[in-house]
């Protein structure tokens, strides 16, 4: 599958889409294993934040899980020709209200893996017509294919943040 063109997504999408190298389905499948392994290796750091007011490692994982759900909802809606605009979301407010600190870290790791495995069935079922459909999310037009790439690139972005600022590898 070819990378989406800039006219298929808002400018902010480039931050994530540009991080995806190789076959998108291969990247998404690889993340089923690499992301849980990364967070498992860092279970002793789950409550670490690199600065005051920054998310903990556990909150970062929760954010990744929330975004996976949001991205897949948007893809589903637009693949099915949803005509209604979808709302945006404030990731900081989502994290602040999610009570991730009360959740079991190992359960969250498994949740990501199960969620992505289930979503892969949907990703693989999309045909070219569905992938090229567009809708409005956060007041901007975006294609299903673009959201698919953003889902993978968003995680790559946060892995980079974890490595750079949290020194998590």
pLDDT exceeds cutoff 90 at 72: yes
pLDDT class of 159 with cuts at 50, 70, 90: very high
Q: Which residues contact 143 (CB under 8 A, 6 or more apart)?
A: 4, 8, 9, 78, 131, 132, 133, 134
For position 60, what pLDDT does the model report? 98
Residue 84 pairs with which residues in a beta bridge? Answer: none
Cα(5)–Cα(13) distance, rounded to whole angstroms? 11
Specify the pLDDT at position 127: 98
Cα–Cα distance measured from residue 23 to residue 35, given in angstroms and rounded to the nearest whole number: 18
138 backbone dihedrals φ, ψ, rounded to 5°: 55, 40
Supply the DSSP string of 111-167, one letter for each residue: HHHHHHHHHHHHHHH--HHHHH-EEEETTEEEEHHHHHHHHHHHHHHHHHHHHHHS-
pTM over 0.85: yes
- Tens-digit pLDDT profile for residues 81-104: 999 999 999 999 999 999 999 999
Share of the chain above pLDDT 90, in %: 98
- 76, pLDDT greater than 80: yes
Burial of 12 (0-12, 13-18, 19+ CB in 10 A): exposed
The mean predicted confidence, pLDDT, of the chain is 97
Query: Per-residue pLDDT for 129 more than 80?
Result: yes
Residue 30: the pLDDT is 98
Confidence of residue 66 (pLDDT cuts 50, 70, 90): very high
Predicted pLDDT at 136: 98
Q: Quick check: 32 and 162 in contact, CB under 8 A? A: no
Q: Is the pLDDT of residue 168 over 90?
A: no
Q: Is the pLDDT of residue 169 over 90?
A: no
């Amino acid at each position: 599958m070819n990378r989406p063109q800039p006219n298929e997504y808002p400018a902010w999408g480039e931050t994530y889409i540009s991080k995806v190298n190789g076959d998108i389905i291969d990247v998404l499948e690889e993340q089923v294993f690499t992301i849980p392994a990364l967070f498992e290796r860092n279970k002793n750091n789950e409550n670490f934040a690199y600065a005051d007011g920054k998310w903990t490692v556990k909150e970062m994982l929760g954010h990744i899980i929330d975004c996976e759900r949001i991205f897949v909802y948007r893809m589903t809606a637009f693949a099915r020709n949803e005509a209604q605009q979808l709302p945006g979301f404030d990731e900081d407010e989502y994290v602040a209200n999610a009570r991730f600190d009360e959740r079991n870290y190992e359960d969250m790791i498994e949740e990501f893996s199960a969620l992505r495995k289930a979503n892969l069935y949907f990703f693989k079922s999309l045909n070219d017509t569905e992938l090229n459909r567009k809708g409005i999310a956060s007041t901007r037009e975006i294609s299903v294919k673009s959201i698919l790439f953003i889902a993978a690139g968003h995680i790559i972005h946060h892995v980079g943040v974890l490595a750079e600022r949290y020194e998590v590898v």
